[in-house]
Amino acid sequence: MPAAHGETHRDATAGLRERVQELDPWYHTLDLGEGVLTQGMFDLRPYVDRYGLPEVSGKRVLDVGTFDGFWAFELERRGATVTSLDLDRIQELDWPPRLRPAHDGSRGETFRLAREALGSSVERIGCSIYDATPERLGGPFDLVFCGSVLIHLRDPMLALERMAGLCAGRLILAEEYSRRLAPFAFVRGAEFRGDSPWSTWWIPTAATWLRMVHTAGFEDVRRHSSFNLRFRDQRGGVPHVVVHARGGAG
């Protein structure tokens, strides 16, 4: 490689590293190539097998609540045509009233930088799952993927109902579940956390999640796995259950 070409390449990598740092903090650890790795709050790479992704080559896939885009890019890498949904403004999040920040701001910059760095074609649509319909998103999907979103919603049942209306194949849902209420699974409980500083609303038990998914209209609802999703710094973690189900939309 001629020296000048090598210089340009090094400059581009250094430029990308700088842009990644400017957007700190990242939610996902993403390998953007050329040795550039985002320092995300969660590194999902060791957990991918726990989600039980099906064969998606040639399939139309929806990633709900994409954030920095880890799952959207992973599904695209496996051959899917991916649409991802997320909110465009901080104020659009379902804040409990006492936690709602006074300021607003845009969301999605980290996703856009990662998309550019990866040369990805994932289409990110700024739309709440509450408003997501087949008409708005160009028809139903073969796979609807939703990771760690519903605990942050005031109305997780409406979101699940919307997903049922969009899912013509499989649903993969991964959410935090309550260990504290696990011994009382027969009451279909959920912890109320609207007063916690984490902007979570509801932490159902694993059994309750299964009933909620079925209630929203999905069939063949089953627990695929459960695991403790660790923070990057390895301290603590969040217990997650992965639910698989079949949708009948379209």
Ligand X SMILES: C[S@@+](CC[C@H](N)C(=O)[O-])C[C@H]1O[C@@H](n2cnc3c(N)ncnc32)[C@H](O)[C@@H]1O
> Would you tell me which residues interact with ligand X (CB under 6 A)?
64-67, 70-71, 85-87, 93-94, 128-130, 147-149, 152-153
The Cα 102–Cα 160 span in angstroms is 29
Instruction: Give 76 or 86: the residue with its C-beta nearer to ligand X.
Output: 86
Instruction: Give 11 or 24: the residue with its C-beta nearer to ligand X.
Output: 24
Instruction: Give 7 or 109: the residue with its C-beta nearer to ligand X.
Output: 109
Rounded to a whole number of angstroms, the minimum distance from the CB of residue 12 to ligand X is 28
Backbone angles phi, psi at 102, to 5 degrees: -75, -30
The Cα 182–Cα 190 span in angstroms is 10
Rounded to a whole number of angstroms, the minimum distance from the CB of residue 149 to ligand X is 4
Rounded to a whole number of angstroms, the minimum distance from the CB of residue 199 to ligand X is 9
Written as one letter, the residue type at 217 is G
Asked if 30 and 16 count as a contact pair (C-beta separation under 8 A), the reply is no
Instruction: Give 157 or 185: the residue with its C-beta nearer to ligand X.
Output: 157
**Which pair of structure tokens corresponds to residue 90?**
């901080």
**Helix, coil or strand: residue 144:** strand
Instruction: Give 50 or 188: the residue with its C-beta nearer to ligand X.
Output: 50
Rounded to a whole number of angstroms, the minimum distance from the CB of residue 78 to ligand X is 16
Rounded to a whole number of angstroms, the minimum distance from the CB of residue 186 to ligand X is 29
Asked if 144 and 66 count as a contact pair (C-beta separation under 8 A), the reply is no
Asked if 209 and 173 count as a contact pair (C-beta separation under 8 A), the reply is yes
The Cα 75–Cα 63 span in angstroms is 9
Instruction: Give 65 or 204: the residue with its C-beta nearer to ligand X.
Output: 65
> How many CB atoms neighbour CB 60 within 10 A?
18
DSSP string, 79-116: T-EEEEEE-SBGGGS---GGG--S---B--HHHHHHHH
Asked if 169 and 143 count as a contact pair (C-beta separation under 8 A), the reply is yes
Rounded to a whole number of angstroms, the minimum distance from the CB of residue 38 to ligand X is 13
Rounded to a whole number of angstroms, the minimum distance from the CB of residue 202 to ligand X is 13
Instruction: Give 143 or 149: the residue with its C-beta nearer to ligand X.
Output: 149
